[in-house]
Amino acid sequence: MKKVAILQSNYIPWKGYFDLIGAVDEFILYDDMQYTRRDWRNRNQIKTPQGVQWLTVPVRVKGKYEQKIRDTEIDGSDWAVAHWKALVQNYARAPHFAEIAAWLEPLYLSGSYPLLSDLNRRFIQAICAYLHIDTVISDSRDYVLIDGKTERLADLCAQAGGTEYVSGPSARDYVDESVFERSGIKLTWFDYAGYPEYPQLWGDFAHGVTVLDLLFNCGRDAGRFMRYAGS
């Protein structure tokens, strides 16, 4: 039995993204999909005294033709310093800031990321390592991609040796469940409901912010507020 999930890479995703990774044996970064503006691919949210704030990685969008996520270039490097300064400004007083900053700061200030996919994968892997999530992370480019939206997902899962495909709930709008049935692959819908609140800075609790918020505030106890993070 092998569980597989397939999802586009996101920039410093929220805790649910990492729970989906932790729930499967192989997580395929689906960056052969089209890059979409104003989406989670290159931005995420943090908590501040003034409310939720976006951190956005600037990217180059080349005209109106279909541009894949994996081909999307990052525009400049000044964003990295600005993002790190925003994290310091808003989380320096968090209980576990120093512990997380020890490995997170070099990713911002010493890393070089020409492509958005490279950036996202590097941060996702580092966060998984801290959370003791040992799921295999691969790229869709490592597999043969067939036509058909659902057919491609089922075929990717089969190529990876998967017997169960775990999908986020938003995919219900377009996934044809019969394709998985014909392929002999079990389709499971992941449920993001029911997360407990954790000690969080700055006003009313917000679940949808970057997982970095949870790490800064809870450190090694972060797994208590997730489902599939290691101990």
Measured distance between the N- and C-terminal CA atoms of the chain, rounded to whole angstroms: 24
Least confident of 22-31, 50-59, 64-73, 168-177: 64-73
Q: How many domains does the chain have?
A: 1
Which of these, 175, 214, 174, lies nearest to 197 by C-alpha position? 214
Backbone angles phi, psi at 16, to 5 degrees: -60, -35
| pLDDT tens digits, one per residue of 43-68 | 999 999 999 999 999 999 987 668 99
Q: What is the mean pLDDT of residues 154-175?
A: 96
| pLDDT tens digits, one per residue of 106-122 | 999 998 899 999 999 99
**pLDDT of 126:** 98
Task: Please state the pTM of the whole predicted model.
Answer: 0.96
**pLDDT of 199:** 96
Q: Give the helix/strand (H/E) hosting 35.
A: none
In a domain, 230, yes or no: no
Report the chain's mean pLDDT, rounded to a whole number: 96
Q: Which domain holds residue 142?
A: 3-225
Q: What is the DSSP string of 48-74?
A: ETTEEEEEE--EE--TTS--BGGGPEE
Q: Give the helix/strand (H/E) hosting 29.
A: strand 26-29
